[in-house]
Amino acid sequence: MLDQRLVRENPTLVTNELGRRGLNVDLAPLQLIAEQQRELESQRNSLQGEGNRIGREVGQRIKNGIDPQANEIKALRDQGNKIKQKVAVLEDKEKLISAKLKEQLLSFPNLPSAKCPNGKSEKDNQVLRQWGNPIQETSLQEHWEIAERLKLFDIERSVRISQSRFVTLTNHGARLERALINFMLDLHASKGYKELLPPVLVNTASLTGSGQLPKFAEESFKCADDDLWLTPTAEVPVTSMHRNEIIPSNQLPLRYVAYSPCFRREAGSYGRDTRGLIRLHQFNKIELYWFVHPEHSEAAHNQITADAEAVLQTLELPYRVIELCTGDLGFSASRTFDLEVWLPGAGAFREISSCSLCGDFQARRSAIRTKEGKSTRLVHTLNGSGLAVGRTMAAILENGQQKDGSVKLPEVLVPYFGANQLPPE
């Protein structure tokens, strides 16, 4: 959420920064609302103060032995009643305006960081660096072909169970997924991340706090009879771990690694990535999440990205790091590095992790502060996939495929999977 005060005092800055994201907004109406809200609040405050004084006066006089039915008391009561009526009128107006203001503030995306390069779309993203040597060969299979051949999943029956874009992993596929989850959790935990296994049903406040609501309701699955949604990412429950909290500054940074299944409706992506493990309504993800002191967030952004990269490096999967331009930035992010893994079968880099610095955007929505001396300050939050598990499996299958039809597995997975290859057929 944008800072109300910033909107009021420096709307030009906000307009310009949102403009960098490709949004053309006229903030004048919002600024007006914000001013009105403050004006109403200030009027109401002074009226309430007057009312309080009268209330105290009545109490004092009665205490001093004046008959509660005396005329002087009656007069004060009348005064109090008049004020009460005025306050009620102001309150009604203020409520309407505050709700409108809040609604609008919640609907604006984060302002991009000064370091985020300008651009219109993903075409303007910049490649920062590349790691490993991408296999260039035209005869390779795509991951879903390999998975079908080795019977690592069952798509057709999953449609029977659920619908399209759901998968049942089978045999080695199921085991490999489990191995990857454990491997990733162990790797991050060994670096000091605190492990979490959060609820996957989250309430509206949690989704609002991390930025998915109110704007992207159509992207999440909602329970019919409860105020609960299926979480689209562990980022949501982990943000709300500390919602409405003040974290003592000596406890920062808090670094969490959370495994969760993720659920996304993928509305509007019909026909895209229809085969295999790339785009599913339900997938597994390991999420890294930091709560940091605002002055340390940039360094933290580099570190969280490096921690996500470490997974790919340990798995010996070639990838590149992309800096998203302002036009491609997610709603809550002020700066984002995407990791794209090389899929030799598809002959393309595919996003496998997105590491975002959200600044105080989520912290303001979720009221997560830290305390320095007497003053409180919003913390900064960061999140990064470490990694999307299904896509990691796809990358392992495509990068490890052998001439004899088997798939060579990364060495580090041996203790987790129990073998260094998937046998042919």
Residues that bind RNA (CB under 7 A): 4-5, 38, 41-42, 44-46, 48-49, 51-56, 58-60, 62-63, 68, 76-77, 80-81, 84, 95, 246, 369, 371, 374, 376
Closest separation in Å from C-beta 377 to RNA? 8
Nearer to RNA, 106 or 159 (CB): 106
Nearer to RNA, 35 or 195 (CB): 35
Nearer to RNA, 54 or 333 (CB): 54
SS (H, E, C) the chain: CCCHHHHHHCHHHHHHHHHHCCCCCCCHHHHHHHHHHHHHHHHHHHHHHHHHHHHHHHHHHHHCCCCCCCHHHHHHHHHHHHHHHHHHHHHHHHHHHHHHHHHHHHHCCCCCCCCCCCCCCHHHCEEEEEECCCCCCCCCCCHHHHHHHCCCEEHHHHHHHCCCCCCEECHHHHHHHHHHHHHHHHHHHCCCCEEECCCCEECHHHHHHHCCCCCCHHHCCECCCCCCEECCCCHHHHHHHCCCEEEEHHHCCEEEEEEEEEECCCCCCCCCCCCCCCCCCEEEEEEEEEEECHHHHHHHHHHHHHHHHHHHHHCCCCEEEEECCHHHCCCCCCEEEEEEEEECCCCEEEEEEEEEECCCHHHHHHCEEEEECCEEEECEEEEEEEEEHHHHHHHHHHHHECCCCCEECCHHHHHHHCCCEECCC
Nearer to RNA, 48 or 282 (CB): 48
Closest separation in Å from C-beta 80 to RNA? 3
Nearer to RNA, 53 or 281 (CB): 53
Closest separation in Å from C-beta 316 to RNA? 38
Closest separation in Å from C-beta 395 to RNA? 34
Closest separation in Å from C-beta 27 to RNA? 16
Nearer to RNA, 84 or 275 (CB): 84
Closest separation in Å from C-beta 353 to RNA? 31
Nearer to RNA, 84 or 151 (CB): 84
Nearer to RNA, 47 or 312 (CB): 47
Closest separation in Å from C-beta 197 to RNA? 13
Closest separation in Å from C-beta 35 to RNA? 10
